[in-house]
Amino acid sequence: MRTFAITLGTVVALELITATGAARAADTLIADEQPSHGVTVRDVTTRHGVVSGMLGNRSRKMLRDVRLLIHHTWLWKTEQKPGDDSPGRVDYYTVRSELPPGESVEFTYRTNPPLPERDDGHFETTVDVVGWTEIGR
C-alpha cells in the first residue's frame, strides 16, 4: 500500500511538473539587440520624479512584462568644467501589462530613490526597451 501511495504521488508530481513546463514553454522571453523593432516608446515625460509614456506593440504577438531601461543622464550647467560627483544613474522597470498586437499601453514609473535636486545642472531622462515576454508562441 505504501509503495502504491509513493508511486501515485510521483506520477501526480511528474504530471504537474510537465503541465507547468508546457505552459511556460509557450511563453518566450525576448531580449534581442534591437528590441525597438517589436516595441516602441513614445511621448515620454518626466515631472516631479515620475517618468511616463506610451509603449506600442509593433509585433504580431501578444506581449507582456516589457522591460525598460530608464537612463537619467546628468548634464552639468557648465559642461566644460564638470564636477566630480555626477548623480546620473540607470533604473530598470518592468511594465506588468499585456500588450496586444498593434496596440499601445501607458506606463508610469516613480524614481526610487528620488533624483536629487541640484542647481549645478539638470537631468535628461530617456527610456529604452530592453526585453519582453511573448505570450503563447
- The overall pTM is greater than 0.95: no
Domain ranges of the chain: 2-134
- Tens digit of pLDDT per residue, the chain (137 long)? 444 343 333 333 434 333 444 444 566 666 655 555 789 999 999 999 999 999 999 989 999 999 999 999 999 998 777 778 899 999 999 999 999 999 999 999 999 999 999 999 999 999 999 999 998 75
- Give the model confidence (pLDDT) of 21-43 as tens digits: 444 456 666 665 555 578 999 99
Please enumerate in sequence order all residues whose Cβ is within 8 A of that of 42, keeping only pairs 6 or more positions apart, or say none: 53, 54, 56
**2-134 classified as CATH 2.30.29:** no
Concatenated DSSP letters of 112-124? SSPPPP-SSEEEE
